[in-house]
Amino acid sequence: MRKILHIDMDAFYASVEQRDDPALRGRPVVVAWRGARSVVCAASYEARRFGIRSAMPALRAERLCPDAVFVAPDFTRYRAVSRQIRQIFLSHTPLVEPLSLDEAYLDVSDNLHGLPSATAVAETIRAQIRELTALTASAGVAPNKFLAKIASDWRKPDGLFVIRPAQVEAFLTPLPVGRIPGVGKVTQAKLGGLGIDTVGQLRTWTPHDLARHFGRYGQRLHELARGIDTHPVCVDRPTQSISAEDTFAEDMPLSALQPALQVLARTLTRSHTPEQPPGDLAQFVAIAQALCARVDLPEHTRYRLLGVGLSNLVERDRLPPQSGLFD
């Protein structure tokens, strides 16, 4: 039985801005670039009261709350804080899977300080984050990643929620199916059409019947309804995924490629696999922007080319039918 934490900083970018500029505290703060195509990178809790959410077009956020303070993102500062919290995580376990600058899964089945429980590790980490960064994080403690992710959201902001193995079934039973990571609006509506509104109702369906309606994703739904998720915490190894190529204006002998080799050796890629595929352009752009934030080069670095790609494309019937990106 694993002990998994999901740690998630509260309104991370907006909280860093409010921490560093007292004039922003208590005010609706939206972190976004200026521009017609810009999307919201983060919104403070004050801004969320107006319905503003991450990945929403910035213009829409402005309409929802004309008094909101718009702040351009400063990823240098966010990355610095992210490194601090990463060090805290790694002092407790080497098994850390960062999902973005501000959230990560930790496998604390064994922990390096010999703390008596996963809950104690989570409380210690939250206290250390508060002390070191003056920011708050929420934590979920559970026997697997799927449940830990739900749990970290349960008492947000500045909260901790524990789902013990014996509580899994009772916890999940009344939960609306929309709380299952991966179940978006479309899948939720389809489940609703079948009379399945809660996880408890989902649990009464056989894998065979779920597969008839949801293809291979039906099997996953069957498992999640029982709180089963065997995905391990994957330690991030970005160096294993770096590759680069270029096409030359004209064919060249190998001996002439030395300068090009040096340029390619500086090419940088960052990739991220979200829990669920982006459902629309705004979400896709938000992921790309977050990846930009992970490029850890000096501020004065100049770039010649920028590319964005999608991978892990699969047949439609293997995923919940929520993705509107290519519809």
Q: Does 46 bind Mg ion (CB under 5 A)?
A: no
Q: Does 97 bind Mg ion (CB under 5 A)?
A: no
43 closest CA partner among 35, 62, 34: 62
Strand partners, 57: 39
Q: Give whole-number Cα distances, 6 to 132, 140, 152, 171, 232, in Å.
A: 19, 5, 6, 17, 13
Is 97 one of the annotated active-site residues of the chain? no
Instruction: Reduce the DSSP state of residue 118 to 3 states and report it.
Output: helix
Cβ 25 to Mg ion, closest distance in Å? 18
Cβ 97 to Mg ion, closest distance in Å? 15
* Contact assessment for residue 40 and residue 52, using Cβ atoms and an 8 Å cutoff: yes
Q: At 115, phi and psi to the nearest 5?
A: -65, 150
# binding residues, Mg ion (CB under 5 A): 4
What interhelical angle do 207-214 and 185-193 show, nearest 10?
120
Select which of 62, 103, 250, 315 is catalytic.
Answer: 103
Q: Is the CB of 12 or the CB of 205 nearer to Mg ion?
A: 12
Cβ 104 to Mg ion, closest distance in Å? 10
Q: Is the CB of 11 or the CB of 147 nearer to Mg ion?
A: 11
* Contact assessment for residue 142 and residue 4, using Cβ atoms and an 8 Å cutoff: yes
* Residue whose token pair is 């190529």: 245
47 closest CA partner among 33, 36, 31: 31
Q: Does 8 bind Mg ion (CB under 5 A)?
A: yes
Query: Quick one: 28 exposed, middle or buried, by C-beta within 10 A (0-12, 13-18, 19+)?
Result: buried
Determine the interface stretch with Mg ion among 100-108, 165-173, 184-192, 221-229 (rule: CB under 5 A). Answer: 100-108
Cβ 223 to Mg ion, closest distance in Å? 26
Strand partners, 9: 137
Determine the interface stretch with Mg ion among 98-106, 110-118, 210-218, 295-303 (rule: CB under 5 A). Answer: 98-106
Q: Is the CB of 10 or the CB of 169 nearer to Mg ion?
A: 10
Determine the interface stretch with Mg ion among 12-20, 143-151, 159-167, 209-217 (rule: CB under 5 A). Answer: 12-20
Q: Does 17 bind Mg ion (CB under 5 A)?
A: no
Q: Is the CB of 135 or the CB of 172 nearer to Mg ion?
A: 135
Q: Does 102 bind Mg ion (CB under 5 A)?
A: yes
CA atoms within 13 A on the CB side of 191: 31
Q: Which residues of this chain interact with Mg ion, rule CB under 5 A?
A: 8-9, 12, 102
